[in-house]
Amino acid sequence: QQKYRPFAAIKLADRRWPDAELTAAPIWLSTDLRDGNQALIEPMDLARKLRMFEMLVKIGFKEIEVGFPSASQTEFDFLRQLIEEKRIPDDVTIQVLTQAREPLIRRTFEALQGVPRAIVHLYNATAPVMRNVVLGLDQDGVVDLAVTHAKLFKQLADEQPGTDWRFEYSPETFSDTELPFALRIVDAVTEVWAPTPERKCIVNLPTTIERCTPNVFADMIEWMHRHMARRDSIVLSVHPHNDRGTGTATGELALLAGADRLEGCLFGNGERTGNLDLVNVALNLYTQGIPPNLDFSDIDEVRRCVEHCNQLPVHPRHPYVGDLVYTSFSGSHQDAIKKAFAVAKPGDVWDIPYLPIDPKDLGRSYDAVIRVNSQSGKGGIAYLLEAEYGIELPRRLQIEFSQVVQGVMDDTGKEQSAADIWGIFEREYGIHE
């Protein structure tokens, strides 16, 4: 029996992407150790990188971008450490990024020597401003750049036949690129790599800078999905950033539009406003009846690890994980929650107002759900006395006692814990142990 409502129940009524139906989780790619790391004030050292890697494995990521090994000695050494100390589980594939530049690609393959499996990720920018101003190349020149380096990938991989190689190509700045040109360059690269349905390559389409609304990006994904020459031999991946604050929506609509794979970071770390928040999307799927195949049953442990490795705090209102997200301050909310808990039976579909997910599923407790402050009403006070002290107040006494507690809060301006409320109750009604 399903605990949450199936996703189909909230499918778009006016379906813009006719093939789209979400019935299973996408392939996830964590880029915490690459895109996330490169955006940190103080990039992770080897110890923090290793701790993050082990947490990503524990959560259940099967594809993990571990770095940009040609970018720095730390990045190179971390990859060597993973390989030489045999820290990559058999069901996990590491991924590394390199720009389309020969010395960087050679150094990347050098760093990968002896790895059992790897995804090597090639990128170059494709948008007009990047072509004309940054690269100084016309469209033909940019296609030639990508194709030349895609060929080098093949050559260097053939020189290391002991590794199970997979290739990924990203037209960086895809969402600012003319679609026919994006299609041309993707088709040219995949022609070089000659993937098959049995041995697919990955085409990763980023909103390097998120500038368009999620539906527009999804339309672009649908168009690529329908037009790529080797679609059957391609894993279609997307890589949303969050400049407009809509990274999650962009990723979800891209899945509805035909994408197979999502790249992002835990709690949305990453360049500028971050990458797509993988936890957010995974738990959105979970609450709609789709198993995400990622384990967030102790979400606070994940948060502690991420905060330590990134040296950045997670906001108290962050979806699913923030300190305040299972806390209700308003009296009417508290009352509704209390009533719904009272009638909920084990095995029911989760339908508690103001709580989109059962906090217990994430290792959080109900303790903090009901808090009592000057904004709350009698429901929360009665709930805490009953839940913590087993005292069930008759309705008339609830009204009377809530006025007493309200008076204390008006005087002190402070939130009252269950213990405080019990203390007031003892004083008011002369109860002594």
* Angle at 22 (CA atoms; ends 21, 28), nearest 5 degrees: 140
Cβ contact 201:235 at 8 Å: yes
Residue 170 CB, shortest distance to Zn ion, in Å, is: 8
241 labelled binding-site residue = yes
Residue of 239, 261, 318, 371 that binds ligand KIV (CB under 6 A): 239
Number of Cβ atoms within 10 Å of the Cβ of 340: 16
For ligand KIV, which residue of 170, 288, 334, 376 counts as binding (CB under 6 A)? Answer: 170
Question: Which region, judged by CB under 6 A, interacts with ligand KIV, from 78-86, 188-196, 202-210, 224-232?
Answer: 202-210
Task: Give the residue carrying structure tokens 């008006």.
Answer: 410
Shortest distance (Å) from residue 172 CB to ligand KIV? 4
Which of ligand KIV, Zn ion, none does residue 93 bind (CB under 5 to 8 Å by kind)? Answer: none
Give the position of tokens 């790529």: 228
Of 426, 237, 310, 415, the residue nearest 36 (C-alpha): 310
Contact status: 123 vs ligand KIV (CB under 6 A): yes
- Output 35 or 252, the one with its CB closest to ligand KIV: 35
Of the candidate spans 5-13, 15-23, 200-208, 226-234, the one that interacts with ligand KIV by CB under 6 A turns out to be 200-208
CA distance 293 to 254: 19
| Torsion 133-135-138-142 (CA) sign | negative
Q: Does 32 bind Zn ion (CB under 5 A)?
A: no
By CB under 6 A, the residues from 130 to 169 that bind ligand KIV are none
Consult the annotation and say whether 149 binds a ligand.
no
* 35 touching Zn ion, by CB under 5 A: yes
Q: Are 29 and 261 in contact (CB under 8 A)?
A: yes
Work out how close the CB of 203 gets to ligand KIV at its nearest, in angstroms, rounded to a whole number.
11
Instruction: Kindly write down the DSSP assignment for every residue of 294-307, as one continuous string.
Output: ---TTHHHHHHHHH
In terms of Cβ atoms closer than 10 Å to its own Cβ (0-12, 13-18, 19+), residue 219 is: middle
The verdict on whether residue 225 carries a ligand-binding annotation is no
The answer to whether 172 contacts ligand KIV (rule: CB under 6 A) is yes
Q: Classify residue 390 by burial, with Cβ atoms within 10 Å: 0-12, 13-18, 19+.
A: exposed
- Which of Zn ion, ligand KIV, none does 108 bind, CB closer than 5 to 8 A by kind? none
How many Å apart are CA 149 and CA 185, to the nearest integer?
12
Does the annotation flag 35 for ligand binding?
yes
Joined tokens for residue 187: 């088709």
**Among positions 20, 29, 30, 35, the unique one binding ligand KIV when judged by CB under 6 A:** 35
Which residues would be at the binding site for ligand KIV (CB under 6 A)? 35, 97, 123, 170, 172, 204, 206, 208, 239, 241
Residues annotated within a binding site for Mg(2+): 35, 239, 241, 275
Annotated binding site: 35, 239, 241, 275
